[in-house]
Amino acid sequence: MTQPSRFDEMFGGSGPHLVLPRVTGEGPLPPVPLLPPETASPHVHRWVRHAELPDGSAWYSVGVVPQGHLVRFYGMADFVLDPDGRCLSCRPEPRLPRQTLCHLLLDQVLPLALSRRGRVVVHAGAVLIGGEAVAFLGETGRGKSTLVSSFGLDGAPLLSDDSIIVSEDGGALSVVATYPSLRLWRDSVETLFGADTALPQVAHYTGKRRLSPADTGMTWHEGPVRLRGAYLLAPPGQTADADGITIAPVSLRDTAMELMKGTFHLLVDDRDLLRREFERIVRWSRMVPLFRLSYPRHYSLLQDVRTAILAHVGPPQTSRTPGTEPDSAAAPVESECA
């Protein structure tokens, strides 16, 4: 990504637009027209995916429409994607807060659109250690953003706190960030950045706060950068003792399953595509090791967790992807959406 995303109201023939970020290795993504709420939704030939929230309520659905695919976030917005992964339009519900619309577009729709373009977008945070990327995988709520923020405050350049784009190049894996931003619960914000930090909500339905590069003062790195290794954050409480920090290797089979589970997919009904994707993930599982990281979720232990990870990662490897030296980090750019 060459610049962070921004929300820009451009009044022209088709009304306001959402401006998408520029993603490394992709051509420019056209602005997304915002359609009036009274606009009729396209006819859905069939629904291919339904996602639920932890409480069992509907979160979003993906359906096949004449233009390509419809992504419907119930009670919030409809997005239409064409077969090439371009977002053709967005129809938000009346009075949907702008930050919620930005969140849906950047954190949900954009990864799905990139997957339609053949990119592999993984639900993971990542930091730069010794000039190489180290990723952190795990379900929502495992503490990825808090751990990434902790590394950033300790001086490590950040790539992302929630999603990275992974690619294969010359027998190695490399990653780029989606866009520079942090999303943290209020207690993490207060502990890491100070109790008086006033920050916008990520969306109206969550208490998480969004921090831009200007809010953090930390260094952000765009990439591409070589992926050294990855850690799967175990659920809280899965430690040997109250203060235990454990790092254990994950089997090749489980590595492939975790990577597949953490990858954004739009076309879950395309079995041939999913088979090819799984074969690629299996190959990647042999290229980069995955370790299970277990630790108590106490802020006072974050320094010990960082120390354990740094010791486990070890010194930098001799070969590096060009342009990944620490001084090539991108300067933060102010962004309204990110």
Q: Are residues 323 and 180 in the same domain?
A: yes
Classify residue 11: in a domain, yes or no. Answer: no
Please tell me whether residues 39 and 152 are part of one structural domain: no
In a domain, 232, yes or no: yes
76 and 222, same domain (yes or no):
no
Same domain, 190 and 45: no
Euclidean distance between CA atoms 34 and 94, whole angstroms: 12
Please give the residue range of the domain that contains residue 163. 122-328
Q: What number of other Cβ atoms are within 10 A of residue 284's Cβ?
A: 18
Looking at the domain assignment, is residue 5 inside a domain? no
Does one domain contain both 99 and 233? no
Residue position matching structure tokens 């090539």: 328
C-alpha–C-alpha distance, residues 321 and 221, integer Å: 14
**Residue 224 preceded by cis peptide, ω within 30:** yes
Say if residue 171 is in the same domain as residue 292.
Answer: yes
Say whether both 136 and 55 belong to one domain. no
What gap in Å lies between CA 210 and CA 179, rounded to an integer? 12
Q: 262 in a domain, yes or no?
A: yes
Q: Which two tokens stand for residue 165?
A: 């784009």
What is the C-alpha to C-alpha distance for residues 51 and 219, in angstroms, rounded to an integer?
Answer: 35
Q: Give the C-alpha distances (Å, rounded to integers) separating 267 from 47, 70, 83, 188, 239.
A: 11, 11, 10, 35, 37
> Is the residue at 289 inside a domain?
yes
Q: Which CATH number belongs to the domain containing residue 169 in this structure?
A: 3.40.50
Cα 192 from Cα 219, distance rounded (Å): 16
CA 282 to chain CA mean position, Å: 21
Nearest in space to 189 (alpha carbons), one of 173, 218, 211:
211
Q: What angle in degrees, to the nearest 10, is found between the helix axes of 302-313 and 144-153?
A: 80
Indicate the residue among 120, 152, 174 that finishes a domain: 120
User: Residue 8: inside a domain, yes or no?
Assistant: no
In a domain, 3, yes or no: no
Domain end (from 69, 87, 120): 120
What gap in Å lies between CA 311 and CA 98, rounded to an integer?
43
Check whether residue 114 and residue 186 sit in a common domain. no
Are 246 and 208 within one domain? yes
pTM: 0.84
In a domain, 335, yes or no: no
Alpha carbon distance 321, 226 (integer Å): 6
Q: Do residue 41 and residue 161 come from a single domain?
A: no
Which residue, of 71, 93, 120, is where some domain finishes? 120
DSSP secondary structure letters along 309-333 = HHHHH-SPPS---TT-SGGGPBPP-
Same-domain status, 313 and 204: yes
Residues 56 and 185 in one domain: no
Per-residue pLDDT of the chain (338 residues; tens, 9 = 90+): 333 333 333 223 344 777 766 665 566 667 888 888 888 889 999 999 898 888 889 999 999 999 999 999 999 999 999 888 888 889 999 999 988 998 998 889 988 888 888 889 999 999 999 999 999 999 888 899 999 999 999 999 999 988 999 999 888 999 998 777 889 998 998 899 886 667 888 899 988 998 877 777 888 887 799 999 999 999 887 665 556 899 999 999 999 999 999 999 887 777 888 888 889 999 999 999 999 999 998 999 999 999 999 999 988 775 544 444 443 343 333 333 44
Q: What is the largest CA-CA distance in the chain?
A: 63
Determine the straight-line distance between the first and last CA of the chain, rounded to whole angstroms: 13
Counted domains in the chain: 2
Cα gap 146→187, rounded to integer Å? 10
